Structures are given as structure tokens and as C-alpha cells.
């Protein structure tokens, strides 16, 4: 124990890993929900010249203690509002929000202030204070909680160690890379030793390699510190990488939720498949788009978007197309992601205008969209 | 120039410095909280009080749109109430303060509005109270902008202080008018202008250097 008298729970970080309560509840036993939304709706009231906006409706979502739950949706689907309901930055218009079995829906702002000290949050754009060094950024929530300088020092040092930034403690955010900034954000969010960590598009501003390292860190935070995580994202890899459970949100409603693997591999759920396909939708390159014509002359080729949603492998399809059309077949772009070994996403492909793909569409369960012709 | 003249200029310089320093000091003490409030009291903000915000904004605008020389005369009763007299250097500090407070308030307001709203959200998410957000996030993050704005305010005050000669305020401007203009002593006028130029230069470069030191948004190697 660090002997601080501040209203913060005993330091988990000071305890060696083995003594911590097991972070991950076995998936067979029904784990207690740390966070629960019941029939939650959020309506932004009408303002001058603008109609009321229903951001969320009928949200039922559970975040079991010790789990990592992801909410995936396109921008504007209501993800940001949803995650802000979990720490009272937004208030539900209907339904209830429970944290550790306690109904917090009607909490006052003052009540939320205390509650928020056991909920950490990290952000897409990190939201670090430019006027504070790395150390002082991590120290901020502890200052807010009223800890003394010595207690803060004892708490911040191991956190910087955890996120691998001990040598940057006196640097300012402007001197850090995006990944380092998010590490500071994570250390800051963990400073008050929260049970729950909210991640608001935490990796969306990062390159894939950095994203992977941040996700690995979040995994560690979950496993070693027993912190429950709710994250929102529009990136499938994030969900695949870290989430035990996933909820798919579209137009303010959760269209499906469950164990990550099941949700993405169960083809019966057309909405989810379409959704997943939409997030991995390949777009035309500007160069190709500029050459596109509504109809082509002799020798013109057709530009197609070939969509996969959990259908059979792409490799055999590409081989078959190449065999059939030879050098007239060309792939100009694509975004394919595999979930449970099945491809989700689409290819932008060029094929001869008179080419027939009917049999392949059936065999590989594809969707075809004609984008135009090129000479 | 005679030694008497030089000591007059020296005395006037000290008067100017005293008036500007006291007015800027009190103006900052009053303008800082006023500016913070103006920046955080609109609908849906930390200290939401849209009506009060509107009224204060109106008062600030009214004060700022009144030409300084008219303000000096218009508030003479108020000056007498505060300073006990309406003439002299001490009395002149009152209109200078009244003019600088809303100016500084707007500068502070502008600098605080520039602070990324995400930082306020982050602070709220860690359970910070509105006052903690002001003290630990808004003001520190706005500090470089506030310092630059205060520099501007001090430079403006140096100019305004030249006008308080109208109420017997003393200082460099008064000296320049009475000796340089009314007594046909161009060398006094030139000396006064020279001293003012040096003062403005010193304030401006000092303020900029301080703002640069406080600004951690750019790398300083």
C-alpha cells in the first residue's frame, strides 16, 4: 500500500502480477456485468432550425467484468454517444445505465464526478495537455483526486514503466509520436486505477503498426491489471485483435452482438455481413475514377466491385478470373479482411465487357456492382 | 537639453510606468476571471449562464466602444468615488483600469476559446470539477495566448496613458503636450516619443519571449 489517504483504491500496480484477481472470467460461466445498458435511448433535443436527432435507441448492452467488449459501427452510427453514456459525459434520454449493479442513470453531475474516478477514458486524438510534461499529464487525474506530490510520484512512475515511457517523463506531448501520445493517454487513464477503461476510437489516428502495439498494450492492461474495457471503433482489425465480445451498431441501434468470432462468422446475420462488408468496402482510385465512362466502346473493360461477405476464399477466385480472362483481368484495388478464415471486403476489378461471371457469383457467393467502363 | 528638462522627462517616465503597471495589474486581476467566465458561460458550457453572459458581453462591448478620452471624462464621478479626487496621476489610474479590464477580458476569452474542447472532455472524464478544469486545463493551456494578449494590452495602455493629461494625469504624454507642443519645445516632444518607442519595444519583445517560453506546443530544442 502506498499510504495515501486519497479516495483511490489500493494500488494494483504495486502488486506483482500473480496476486491480482483473475482478469478474465471463464467464458462458460455467466460473468457479472460491470456495465449494463438497458433499453437506452439518446435523443438530442431540437435546437434552432434543427429537428431533434435520435442518436441511439433500444440499446441493450452488457460489459462483463474482466472482458473486452467492442462496439463497431460507421461514423455517425452513434458509437461516440454510446461510449459517453458510460461515464456520464452524455445522459440517457430513456432506459437505464448500471455500473457494478448500481443504477447511475439519474446521477447528478457531482455524483458522476466521483464515479468517473473509477472509469478511465482514452481518445482518438489523445487529448493530452500540451502545457504539461508526460509525467504531469499522467499525474493530472491524481491531482484532480487530491493526492499529494509524493503519492503521485509513487503512482505515476510504475505507470510510465508499464507503457514503456519512463525515459520520456519530462518530455512534452509535442515531442512524442502518435503511438507514444496514446501510451501517455493510457497511463493517464489508468492513474486512478479504474475498473473500467473506455476507448474512444483509440487507434483510429494511428498507423497499422502502431495500432498493433497499442492494442497489445490494451490486451496487457486487461489481462494483467484486470481492467474491463469497452471500446468503440470502425476498424475490424481492432475488434478481431482484442475483443472478446462485439456489438455491431448501425443507425443508432445494435443490430447484433455476441462473441466476436460467432458474430463475424455466422453468415445467417445478413445485416452484420453487409455491415462488415461496408466497413471494408474498397473505393475506386482517383486515377481510375477519372477514366470511368458510363458505356464503353469496342475493347472497353468493365469496372466491377466484387463484394465478399464471409464467402469462400479470394485466392481461388482470383486464379479463376485470371484463367478465364487472361491479361484482360486486372485488380486495381481492394480491402479484404478475414474473420475466422473467411474474407470480408471487396475488390475493384477490371474484366472484359462481355465477360460472364454468373457462375462465379454463385459459386463464391459474391455481390457484383458495375461501376462503369474504361477504354 | 537642460538638466531640469531631463529630470522632468525621467519623472514623467516613472509616472507613466506606475499608471500603466497598476492599471494593467488590476485590469488583469479583474479581466482574467471575467474573461474565463465569458469563455465558459454560454449555453451548454462549464458555467452555463447565457443571460449573465449576454449582459456582461454587452457591458464589455459598451466600454470598449467608448473612445478612451470620452470614457475618462464620463466616469469622473466614479473616479472621484474610488480615488477621492478626479485629477492627478492616481486618479488617472481609474479610467485606465476601467478601459483595460474589458480589453483584457476579451483577450483571455479568446485565448481560452482556442483551447481544444477535447481537453475539457478529458478532464471531465477524469472527474474534474469545473473550477479544476479552469485552473488545471483552460488557463494553463491558454497561457501563451494570454501572455501575448496582455502584452498587447500594456502597449495600448501606454498609448491611453498619454491621454490622461486631460485630467491632470501626468506622465509622458502630458509632458509632450505641455512642453513639446504648447511651449514650442520640439526636442522635448522628440525625447518623449523616443522614450515611448523604447518602452513599447521592451514590453513587446519581453512579452513575446515569455509567451514563446510558455508555449509547449512547438518543439524547443
For B220, name the nearest residue in chain A, comparing CA atoms only: A175
Residue from the list B128, B129, B141 with its beta carbon closest to the beta carbon of A130: B141
A113/B129 touch (CB, cutoff 8 Å), yes or no: yes
Distance from CA of A142 to the nearest CA of B (A): 9
A127/B124 touch (CB, cutoff 8 Å), yes or no: no
B121/A116 touch (CB, cutoff 8 Å), yes or no: no
Chain B residues near residue A119 by CB distance under 8 angstroms: 125
DSSP bridge partners of A351: A302
Is the pLDDT reported for residue A195 higher than 80? yes
Decide: B67 and B73 in contact? Cβ < 8 Å: no
Q: Which of A161-175, A180-194, B6-20, B172-186 has the lowest mean pLDDT?
A: B172-186
Number of Cβ within a 10 Å radius of residue A191:
27
| pLDDT computed for residue A17 by the predictor | 37
Task: Give the residue-averaged pLDDT of A182-191.
Answer: 97
Is the pLDDT reported for residue A118 higher than 60? yes
The confidence band for A340, taking pLDDT boundaries of 50, 70 and 90, is low
The confidence band for A267, taking pLDDT boundaries of 50, 70 and 90, is low
A121/B125 touch (CB, cutoff 8 Å), yes or no: yes
Chain B residues near residue A173 by CB distance under 8 angstroms: 216
The confidence band for A10, taking pLDDT boundaries of 50, 70 and 90, is very low
A140/B136 touch (CB, cutoff 8 Å), yes or no: yes
Closest CA to A328 of A361, A356, A353, A296: A353
The confidence band for A372, taking pLDDT boundaries of 50, 70 and 90, is confident
Residue from the list A112, A131, A174 with its beta carbon closest to the beta carbon of B219: A174
pLDDT digits over B59-103, tens only?
A: 999 999 999 989 998 999 999 999 888 888 889 999 999 999 999
The confidence band for A345, taking pLDDT boundaries of 50, 70 and 90, is confident
pLDDT digits over B112-129, tens only?
A: 999 999 999 999 999 999
| pLDDT computed for residue B179 by the predictor | 87
Chain A residues near residue B135 by CB distance under 8 angstroms: none
The confidence band for A134, taking pLDDT boundaries of 50, 70 and 90, is very high
Q: Which cell is B181 given?
A: 507642443
pLDDT digits over A165-176, tens only?
A: 999 999 999 999
Q: Which cell is A132 given?
A: 504539461
Q: Which of A23-27, A178-182, A237-241, B28-32 has the lowest mean pLDDT?
A: A23-27
Angle at A132 between CA A131 and CA A134, to 5 degrees: 140
| pLDDT computed for residue B221 by the predictor | 55
Secondary-structure percent of chain B, ordered helix, strand, coil, rounded to 5: 80, 0, 20
Is the pLDDT reported for residue B203 higher than 60? yes
In the three-class reduction of DSSP (H, G, I as helix; E, B as strand; rest coil), residue B137 is classed as: helix
Q: Which of A13-17, A79-83, B102-106, B158-162 has the lowest mean pLDDT?
A: A13-17
| pLDDT computed for residue B216 by the predictor | 86
Substitution target from A89, A126, A144, A198 for chain B, most B beta carbons within 10 A: A144
Residues from A in contact with B at Cβ < 8 Å = 87, 89, 112-117, 119-121, 123, 125, 127, 129-132, 140-141, 143-145, 172-175, 188, 192, 198
pLDDT digits over B122-156, tens only?
A: 999 999 999 999 999 999 999 999 999 999 999 99
Residue with cell 483551447: B115
Chain B residues near residue A125 by CB distance under 8 angstroms: 116, 118
Q: Global pTM?
A: 0.81
Decide: B134 and B36 in contact? Cβ < 8 Å: yes
Distance from CA of B121 to the nearest CA of A (A): 8
Distance from CA of A192 to the nearest CA of B (A): 9
For A110, name the nearest residue in chain B, comparing CA atoms only: B129
Q: Which of A7-16, A225-234, A266-275 has the highest mean pLDDT?
A: A225-234
| pLDDT computed for residue A297 by the predictor | 72
Task: Give the residue-averaged pLDDT of A131-140.
Answer: 97
Question: CA–CA distance from A214 to each of A67, A210, A211, B152 (Å)?
Answer: 17, 6, 5, 44
A175/B122 touch (CB, cutoff 8 Å), yes or no: no
Distance from CA of B136 to the nearest CA of A (A): 8
B118/A175 touch (CB, cutoff 8 Å), yes or no: no
Q: Are strands A330-339 and A228-233 parallel, antiparallel or unpaired?
A: unpaired
Decide: A219 and A319 in contact? Cβ < 8 Å: no
DSSP letter string, B152-163: HHHHHHHHHHGG
B119/A127 touch (CB, cutoff 8 Å), yes or no: yes
Q: How long a stretch of residues is chain A? A: 375
| pLDDT computed for residue A337 by the predictor | 77
A131/B132 touch (CB, cutoff 8 Å), yes or no: no
Chain B residues near residue A143 by CB distance under 8 angstroms: 136
Q: Which value, in Å, is the radius of gyration of the alpha carbons in chain B? A: 20
| pLDDT computed for residue A23 by the predictor | 43
Distance from CA of A38 to the nearest CA of B (A): 22
Portion of chain A with pLDDT greater than 70, in percent = 88
| pLDDT computed for residue A338 by the predictor | 75
Integer Cα distance of B17 and B24 in angstroms: 10
Task: Give the residue-averaged pLDDT of B40-56.
Answer: 92
DSSP 8-state symbol, B45 = S
Decide: B56 and B193 in contact? Cβ < 8 Å: no
The confidence band for B174, taking pLDDT boundaries of 50, 70 and 90, is confident
Alpha helices per DSSP H over chain A: 79-85, 109-116, 134-144, 149-162, 178-190, 208-225, 236-242, 260-265, 270-279, 286-291, 314-325, 358-364
pLDDT digits over B12-22, tens only?
A: 999 999 999 99
Q: Which domains does chain B have, with CATH numbers?
A: 3-214 (1.10.3720.10)
DSSP 8-state symbol, B172 = H
| pLDDT computed for residue A357 by the predictor | 83
pLDDT digits over A28-87, tens only?
A: 445 689 999 999 999 998 888 888 889 999 999 999 999 999 999 888 888 999 999 999
A160 vs A25, more confident = A160
Is the pLDDT reported for residue B165 higher than 90? no
Integer Cα distance of B26 and B16 in angstroms: 16
Amino acid at each position: 500500500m502506498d499510504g495515501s489517504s486519497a479516495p483511490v483504491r489500493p494500488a494494483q500496480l504495486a502488486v506483482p502480477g500473480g496476486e491480482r484477481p483473475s482478469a478474465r472470467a471463464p467464458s462458460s460461466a455467466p460473468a457479472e456485468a460491470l456495465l449494463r445498458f438497458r433499453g437506452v435511448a439518446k435523443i438530442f433535443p431540437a435546437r434552432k432550425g434543427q429537428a431533434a436527432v435520435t442518436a441511439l435507441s433500444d440499446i441493450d448492452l452488457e460489459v462483463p467484468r474482466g472482458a473486452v467488449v467492442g462496439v463497431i459501427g460507421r461514423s455517425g452510427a452513434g458509437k461516440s454517444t454510446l461510449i459517453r453514456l458510460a461515464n456520464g459525459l452524455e445522459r440517457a434520454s430513456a432506459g437505464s445505465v448500471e455500473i457494478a449493479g448500481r443504477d447511475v442513470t439519474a446521477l447528478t453531475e457531482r455524483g458522476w464526478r466521483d464515479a468517473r474516478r473509477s472509469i478511465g477514458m482514452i481518445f482518438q486524438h489523445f487529448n493530452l495537455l500540451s502545457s504539461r510534461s508526460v509525467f504531469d499529464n499522467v499525474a493530472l487525474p491524481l491531482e484532480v483526486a487530491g493526492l499529494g506530490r509524493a503519492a503521485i510520484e509513487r503512482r505515476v512512475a510504475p505507470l510510465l514503466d508499464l507503457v514503456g515511457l519512463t525515459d520520456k517523463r519530462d518530455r512534452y506531448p509535442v515531442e512524442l509520436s502518435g503511438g507514444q501520445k496514446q501510451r501517455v493517454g493510457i497511463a493517464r487513464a489508468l492513474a486512478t486505477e479504474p475498473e473500467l477503461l473506455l476507448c474512444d476510437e483509440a487507434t483510429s489516428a494511428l498507423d497499422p503498426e502502431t495500432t498493433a502495439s497499442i492494442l497489445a498494450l490494451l490486451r496487457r492492461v486487461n489481462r494483467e491489471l484486470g481492467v474491463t474495457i469497452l471500446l468503440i471503433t470502425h476498424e475490424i482489425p481492432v475488434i478481431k485483435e482484442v475483443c472478446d465480445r462485439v456489438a455491431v451498431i448501425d443507425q443508432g441501434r445494435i443490430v447484433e452482438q455476441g462473441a466476436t468470432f460467432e458474430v463475424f462468422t455466422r453468415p445467417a446475420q445478413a445485416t452484420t455481413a453487409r455491415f462488415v462488408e461496408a466497413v471494408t468496402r474498397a473505393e475506386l482510385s482517383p486515377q481510375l475514377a477519372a477514366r470511368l465512362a458510363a458505356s464503353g466502346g469496342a475493347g472497353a473493360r468493365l469496372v466491377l466491385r466484387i463484394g465478399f461477405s464471409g464467402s469462400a476464399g479470394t485466392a481461388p477466385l482470383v486464379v479463376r478470373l485470371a484463367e478465364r480472362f487472361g491479361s484482360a483481368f486486372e485488380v486495381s484495388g481492394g480491402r479484404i479482411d478475414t474473420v475466422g478464415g473467411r474474407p470480408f471486403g471487396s475488390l475493384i476489378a477490371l474484366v472484359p465487357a462481355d465477360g460472364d461471371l454468373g457462375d462465379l457469383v454463385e459459386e463464391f457467393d459474391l455481390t457484383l456492382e458495375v461501376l462503369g467502363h474504361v477504354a | 537639453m537642460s538638466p531640469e528638462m531631463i529630470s522632468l522627462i525621467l519623472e514623467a517616465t516613472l509616472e507613466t510606468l506606475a499608471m500603466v503597471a497598476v492599471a494593467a495589474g488590476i485590469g488583469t486581476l479583474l479581466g482574467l476571471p471575467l474573461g474565463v467566465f465569458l469563455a465558459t458561460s454560454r449555453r451548454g458550457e462549464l458555467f452555463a449562464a447565457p443571460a449573465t453572459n449576454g449582459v456582461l458581453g454587452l457591458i464589455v462591448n459598451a466600454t470598449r466602444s467608448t473612445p478612451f478620452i470620452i470614457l475618462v471624462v464620463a466616469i469622473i464621478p466614479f473616479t472621484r468615488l474610488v480615488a477621492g479626487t478626479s485629477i492627478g496621476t492616481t486618479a488617472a489610474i481609474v479610467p485606465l483600469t476601467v478601459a483595460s479590464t474589458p480589453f483584457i477580458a476579451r483577450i483571455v476569452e479568446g485565448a481560452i476559446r482556442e483551447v481544444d474542447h477535447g481537453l475539457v472532455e478529458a478532464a471531465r472524464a477524469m472527474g474534474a470539477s469545473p473550477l479544476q478544469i479552469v485552473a488545471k486545463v483552460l488557463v494553463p493551456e491558454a497561457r501563451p495566448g494570454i501572455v501575448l494578449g496582455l502584452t498587447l494590452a500594456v502597449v495600448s495602455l501606454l498609448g491611453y496613458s498619454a491621454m490622461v493629461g486631460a485630467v491632470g494625469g501626468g506622465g509622458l504624454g502630458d509632458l509632450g503636450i505641455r512642453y513639446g507642443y504648447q511651449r514650442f519645445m520640439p526636442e522635448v516632444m522628440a525625447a518623449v516619443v523616443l522614450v515611448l518607442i523604447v518602452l513599447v519595444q521592451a514590453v513587446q519583445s519581453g512579452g513575446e519571449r515569455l509567451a514563446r517560453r510558455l508555449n509547449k506546443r512547438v518543439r524547443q530544442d
